[in-house]
Chain A
């Protein structure tokens, strides 16, 4: 466990000099800017670059190119930015608060909770529209996470990282069997569920994007407020307390941040794997474990991964498209394997 421990140690907190990390962050921001431009300029339909630029600044001129840009590409780019930030940040907070390098939104029941709520909504409401069941996804994610926290908090000893993860695994298993039970009995629901569960940035209009922005913004502020207490918590509960931190309050604030970020992202785009797991690992390999660096880096690299995967998905099977949920896993898995191998090499003895 120590070999993979997320907890920072005093000697690691300043592994690379401040200037290097600042330069790296600028570089990452540059990469994100390039990907945003690519996400606006590239797609199944070829629009000349200068025409895209003109349309972007002059606004929708009512042409087909204009509709493609403003109705399809702008919303999905904004959604990619939001969801990328949210998922990466949720992953960082979860891994820190549970002090478990495996923690991601999937592990603590968030994806399963959202999926279960969506399946029930489709089955019970007989084909609601996508816009209607994003709310169920959000509620499902929040309830699942609350239940996981509740179970973990029961009994003596209170919430421990291990209990939290075990509760998450148990709740996920229960929810997944429920999803199977409902979707196998109701094959029409299964069909709709299959379309939702892949995770996609396409097909959501600007309104959906706008709906979730407040949730993600509050989640973001909450996560930022947790940076300092989580850094202290990483030193161990006793030390955190002696430094004047409120461990319980930190855990509750973190849970709130994760519910808003992961719940909102999953509701808006469907469950997207790997971003929340991979990005914190990738970032820590570059910056060390200090959350004051991990958080801003993750907020830049999360959307980079998501937008990059989405752009690739639009180009590889032209004139069709591959959903981003498929590509984050395809692109993310090899990266994570490289990181795992590296971690083993540099892990403390």
Chain B
């Protein structure tokens, strides 16, 4: 008998709990409507408490002078990307990219949540119950569209466009340092893979804005990167080679190809440079892109 009462009580509580959370949360003040990867959402005119659930959203917010109240980290690091500086360093972390802690997010009482379909699609309705939620799509390949979307959602559409234009002008100016036919390749050493990044990736789009050529193997590849065997490392050769490491160098596939790496003409000529994985690979946004340009400005010299 007691067991049955307990069960009934539990059931009742569950029902009450559900109905309390039913439906999507509505902002109280004036709103704007934003159309995004998951539909159309009413967001507050001037969001004050923003939670961002991936690096491109964090970059967009910081670039536009809005400090989020919550963010996520990637599996290999303790906090937000260092390249975003002090502004991002002390933002509370609410989980790992792709597995945010919904309870902690709701405790922050956000009035806007930014993420992407690729990271959090299964959680879209739950996130929407916490706060108006806007999703981008294809973080690397469509980073410019996403950046503008996040800028619009943050109520900083004009500032977003200005930042993008300034970046693009700077990219063009850096490109004028080198001949058009200069080839640039981007290689990333992960723990069990070696990848060459294509023009469809974030770094590839930045390099296209600069206006340099890319090596044969990545030019026609359909995805953002091509996986190669260490034996194929010579295909990474170009006039300039930029290498990023997902983990400390000796833990990646780099040692496997080290002997070959030393034989690349670009390496011998001192035209190969180690770059920050957190910028070139995951620094997706205008601030990240400008940091890529910093590296290029410093190194891309005939």
A and B co-occur in one complex: yes
Q: Name the residue on A nearest B77 (C-beta).
A: A188
Q: Name the residue on A nearest B235 (C-beta).
A: A319
B191 touches A203 (CB 8 A): no
Instruction: Give chain B residues whose Cβ lies under 8 Å from the Cβ of A129.
Output: 250-251, 255
B234 touches A45 (CB 8 A): yes
Contact flags B40-72 to A (C-beta < 8 A → 1, else 0): 000000000000000000000000000000000
The minimal Cβ–Cβ distance linking B136 to chain A, given in whole angstroms, is: 24
Q: Which size bracket describes the interface of A in this complex? A: 20 to 34
B247 interfacial contact with A, CB 8 Å: yes
In the bound complex, how far is the Cα of B194 from the Cα of A44, in angstroms? 13
Q: Name the residue on B nearest A205 (C-beta).
A: B255
A323 touches B192 (CB 8 A): yes
The minimal Cβ–Cβ distance linking A222 to chain B, given in whole angstroms, is: 32
A320 touches B256 (CB 8 A): no
The contact of A192 among B234, B251, B260, by CB within 8 Å, is B251
A321 touches B263 (CB 8 A): no
Q: Interface residues of B, CB < 8 Å — how many?
A: 27
In the bound complex, how far is the Cα of B191 from the Cα of A129, in angstroms? 11
The minimal Cβ–Cβ distance linking A49 to chain B, given in whole angstroms, is: 16
Instruction: Give chain A residues whose Cβ lies under 8 Å from the Cβ of B256.
Output: 72, 202-203
In the bound complex, how far is the Cα of B232 from the Cα of A318, in angstroms? 9
The contact of B260 among A67, A194, A317, by CB within 8 Å, is A67
In the bound complex, how far is the Cα of B227 from the Cα of A321, in angstroms? 8
B231 interfacial contact with A, CB 8 Å: yes
B192 touches A320 (CB 8 A): no
Instruction: Give chain B residues whose Cβ lies under 8 Å from the Cβ of A71.
Output: 259-260
A72 touches B192 (CB 8 A): no
B275 interfacial contact with A, CB 8 Å: no
Instruction: Give chain B residues whose Cβ lies under 8 Å from the Cβ of A318.
Output: 229
A319 touches B234 (CB 8 A): no
Instruction: Give chain A residues whose Cβ lies under 8 Å from the Cβ of B259.
Output: 67, 71
Contact flags B194-237 to A (C-beta < 8 A → 1, else 0): 00000000000000000000000100000000111111101100
B85 interfacial contact with A, CB 8 Å: no
B282 interfacial contact with A, CB 8 Å: no
B84 interfacial contact with A, CB 8 Å: no
B251 touches A127 (CB 8 A): yes
A203 touches B230 (CB 8 A): yes
Instruction: Give chain A residues whose Cβ lies under 8 Å from the Cβ of B263.
Output: 62, 64, 67
The minimal Cβ–Cβ distance linking A298 to chain B, given in whole angstroms, is: 30
Given contacts A44-B231, A203-B253, A319-B232, contact A190 B75 (CB under 8 A): yes
A-B contact pairs, 27 of them (CB 8 A): A44-B231, A45-B231, A67-B259, A67-B263, A71-B259, A72-B231, A130-B250, A130-B251, A188-B77, A190-B75, A191-B75, A191-B76, A192-B191, A194-B191, A194-B192, A198-B192, A202-B229, A202-B230, A314-B231, A319-B226, A319-B227, A319-B228, A319-B232, A320-B193, A320-B227, A320-B228, A323-B192
Chain B residues within CB distance 8 Å of chain A: 75-77, 96, 191-193, 217, 226-232, 234-235, 247-248, 250-251, 253, 255-256, 259-260, 263
**The 9 nearest A-B residue pairs measured at CB:** A44-B229, A320-B227, A195-B191, A195-B192, A45-B231, A203-B256, A187-B75, A71-B259, A129-B250
Chain A residues within CB distance 8 Å of chain B: 43-45, 62, 64, 67-68, 71-73, 127, 129-130, 187-188, 190-192, 194-195, 198, 200, 202-203, 205, 314, 317-321, 323
Instruction: Knowing that A44-B228, A127-B251, A194-B192 touch, tell me 20 more A-B residue pairs with CB under 8 angstroms.
Output: A44-B232, A45-B232, A67-B260, A72-B230, A130-B255, A187-B76, A187-B96, A190-B75, A192-B251, A194-B191, A195-B192, A198-B192, A200-B192, A202-B256, A314-B229, A317-B227, A319-B232, A320-B193, A320-B227, A323-B192
